[in-house]
Amino acid sequence: MSKQKTKFSCQECGYDSPKWMGKCPGCQSWNTMVEEIETVVRTQGMTSSIPKTKEKAVPIIHIESSSEPRVVTSNKELNRVLGGGIVPGSLILVGGDPGIGKSTLLLQTSFELTQAQQKVLYISGEESIKQTKLRADRLNASSPLLYVLCETNLELIEEAIQETNPDFLVIDSIQTVFHPAITSAPGTVSQVRECTGHFMRIAKGKGIATVLVGHVTKEGAIAGPRMLEHMVDCVLYFEGERHHSYRVLRAVKNRFGSTNEIGIFEMQEVGLVEVSNPSELFLSERPLGVAGSAVVASMEGTRPVLVEIQALVSSTNFPSPRRMATGVDHNRLSLIIAVLEKRMGMFLQNQDAYLNVAGGIKLDEPAVDLAIAISIASSFRDQATQPFDVVFGEIGLTGEVRGVSRIDQRVKEAEKLGFRRVIMPEKSLKGWTHPKGMEIIGVNTVAEALKAALG
């Protein structure tokens, strides 16, 4: 016997309530409670509703360890983010802003997998098969092993998977797929949760690598309950400004690799093209000999990236000055300004401070502290930095410069791009040999770094 029950579910966190509320008690979001109809199935006994399994618990020492064979695509940037390639049977969630290029990336990846004799099933719930064909023609991504289907019914999608038996499956997007046994609308918490569970069982049971495209909210997080991210093996975010040509693919969860790697692409007429040297891209429009500019050697996983940090310090008439940061943590900017005021004697209490990482990339490692301090001091003194200097180092609250890791990779990347001098922590000079022709300046305090950079 079954009984229908009405409930209200939060579309942000999945909180359930028997009545409607304007504010969700779970995530404190407003106007996110949506009415859903839940079908409760009554059974005679408790054990009849529990699925039985033939698996038995075994000691972990008796389990044979075997490395999962990965499918390596010709897209090196995607392989880097996934940890070396696509693991068969994995469930991957890709999110990003509308129009950022998620469908383009997955269609190109599907075509590249067909070149390795992998059968691919691309299911689109937002576009017809003719629209998908137009995109494939523009990207030159047509192959007899690439199957395309326009369907949103989960039962029909399962039938198509049974018929084609693909090696790689793309669902674009999970918010458009619905289960006919659930009465709520597609995209609601119940539908997304149930459909994702079905695709997870298909991926693990048949060994099909599955990619789900997820919509994002206005804050940039993947729409739906956070349980969606817990169910999948990898969560990838496709980022970038729509007015810029480059895109950044970043992993925030990866059960088969590191989450520190990023992949950088450039959007062109033929689709997304890999950027093998992102430092050249971020420094291509850098002005030389201007105040408030410094180049930092940052690490994104195992890849060194040279990025320009720009600062603008101007006087203000308001009692509380503004502190704005784009690309770095706002609290980190306030901390470094406080160190400059206390340890260097700079009077910044009546100055607005604006900081920007040129190119729109986000930096979250402490090694960028020294470049932030030098760019702020350069703009405050209206004194230009040396155009061929690279700076990196962590700043402590007492004004000391702390050591950072992967020094040799940062310096080699700077040498490759023609930089001649590196200002870095003196504590990191031991244990490696710097390249010939590069001037290495080790500093222990912020005062020494400012003297070396600005004179």
pLDDT digits (tens, 9 = 90+) for 351-393: 999 999 988 788 989 999 999 999 999 999 999 999 899 999 9
Any domain includes 260: yes
* Residue 192, token pair as written in the block: 């997304």
pLDDT at 46: 39
Residues 254 and 287 in one domain: no
Residues 191 and 87 in one domain: yes
Given CA atoms 238, 83, 408, 426 in this order, what sign does their dihedral have?
Answer: positive
10 near 26, Cβ under 8 Å?
A: yes
When mean pLDDT is compared over 29-38, 146-155, 210-219, 298-307, the highest value belongs to 146-155
Residues 301 and 211 in one domain: no
pLDDT at 243: 66
Residue 379 CA to residue 375 CA, distance in Å, equals: 6
Q: How far is CA 28 from CA 16, 22, 33, in A?
A: 13, 10, 11
pLDDT digits (tens, 9 = 90+) for 442-454: 999 999 999 999 9
Q: Is the pLDDT of residue 48 over 60?
A: no
Residues 168 and 234 in one domain: yes
Any domain includes 61: no
pLDDT at 68: 64
Residue 422 CA to residue 48 CA, distance in Å, equals: 69
Work out the pLDDT band at 275, boundaries 50, 70, 90.
confident
Q: For position 203, which CATH number holds?
A: 3.40.50.300
Work out the pLDDT band at 303, boundaries 50, 70, 90.
confident
* Domains held by the chain: number: 3
Residues 272 and 317 in one domain: no
Which of 243, 276, 309 corresponds to the end of one domain? Answer: 276
Mean pLDDT of the chain: 88
Binding site, annotated residues for ATP: 96-103
Any domain includes 65: no
Any domain includes 66: no
366 near 339, Cβ under 8 Å?
A: no
Is the previous residue joined to 29 through a cis bond, with omega within 30 degrees of 0?
no
Using DSSP's 3-state secondary structure scheme, residue 431 falls into: coil
Which of 241, 276, 311 corresponds to the end of one domain? Answer: 276
Any domain includes 297: yes
Residues 85 and 213 in one domain: yes
Q: Is the pLDDT of residue 60 over 90?
A: no
Any domain includes 60: no
Any domain includes 156: yes
Phi and psi torsions of 227, nearest 5°: -60, -25
Residues 328 and 427 in one domain: yes
pLDDT at 43: 44
Note the helical H segments in 207-277. 227-231
The candidate with the shortest Cα–Cα distance to 305, out of 118, 80, 66, 113, is 80
Residues 301 and 346 in one domain: yes
Residues 258 and 360 in one domain: no
Work out the pLDDT band at 109, boundaries 50, 70, 90.
very high
* Residue 92, token pair as written in the block: 């991957």
Residues 12 and 99 in one domain: no
Residue 50 CA to residue 54 CA, distance in Å, equals: 13
96 near 252, Cβ under 8 Å?
A: no
Residue 369 CA to residue 386 CA, distance in Å, equals: 18
* Residue 243, token pair as written in the block: 């007015």
Residue 59 CA to residue 153 CA, distance in Å, equals: 41
Q: For position 368, which CATH number holds?
A: 3.30.230.10
Residues 350 and 336 in one domain: yes
315 Cβ contact list (under 8 Å, min separation 6): 350, 351, 352
Domain boundaries, position 361: 281-454
pLDDT at 54: 61
pTM: 0.77
Q: What is the mean pLDDT of residues 300-319?
A: 90
Which of 231, 257, 276 corresponds to the end of one domain? Answer: 276
* Residue 311, token pair as written in the block: 């600062």
Residues 228 and 268 in one domain: yes
Angle at CA 409, nearest 5°, toward 407 and 411? Answer: 70
